């Protein structure tokens, strides 16, 4: 499973409209996202227009290809295009993907399991 985090910029003057459109995403678009293999998909929006998205998938290549070929996704992206800060191409295909630098479960797995209180860093104290 791959975790994907990306960023885009929404026009700060259009944030309310962006929120409104995402409050009721078209059912057919929701089904396309699911069919693409994306799950645990969330979007986070900062007041200055920075949009951070996160999803998990078994194959980024298959997920991207599915949405790129989807007429529903193309129409949705066209519907949303006026809300983004100037960009070339569809937002779902031009977003900046961020590098993952830390994942708690991966590091816990690397040490074998959760630590017992006796294994904790002494600086953590008993109430950590």
Is the confidence at residue 96, as pLDDT, over 70? yes
Q: Which two tokens stand for residue 23?
A: 């409050």
Active site residue ranges? 22
pLDDT value for 88? 76
Which residues touch 46 (CB under 8 Å, ≥6 apart)?
Answer: 52
Q: Across the chain, what does the average pLDDT equal?
A: 91
R_g of the chain, CA atoms, integer Å: 19
Confidence (pTM) = 0.83
Considering only CA atoms, which of 84, 99, 79 is closest in space to residue 29? 79
pLDDT digits (tens, 9 = 90+) for 23-81: 999 999 999 999 999 999 999 999 999 999 999 999 999 999 999 999 999 999 999 99
pLDDT value for 100? 97
pLDDT value for 89? 77
> Which of 82-91, 102-111, 115-124 is predicted with the least confidence, judged by mean pLDDT?
115-124
Is the confidence at residue 123, as pLDDT, over 80? no
Is the confidence at residue 128, as pLDDT, over 90? no
**Domains of the chain, start order:** 2-115 (3.30.70.100)
Other CB atoms within a 10 A radius of the CB of residue 16 amount to 8
């Amino acid at each position: 499973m791959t975790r994907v985090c990306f960023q885009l910029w929404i026009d700060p003057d259009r944030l309310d409209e962006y929120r409104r459109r995402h409050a009721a995403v078209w059912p057919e678009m929701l089904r396309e996202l699911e069919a693409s293999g994306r799950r645990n998909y969330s979007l986070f929006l900062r007041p200055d227009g920075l949009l951070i998205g996160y999803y998990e998938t078994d194959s980024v290549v298959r997920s991207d290809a599915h949405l790129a070929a989807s007429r529903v996704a193309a129409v949705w992206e066209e519907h949303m295009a006026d809300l983004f800060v100037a960009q070339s191409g569809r937002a779902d295909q031009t977003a900046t993907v961020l590098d993952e630098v830390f994942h708690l479960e991966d590091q816990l797995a690397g040490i074998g399991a959760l630590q017992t209180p006796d294994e904790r860093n002494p600086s953590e104290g008993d109430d950590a």
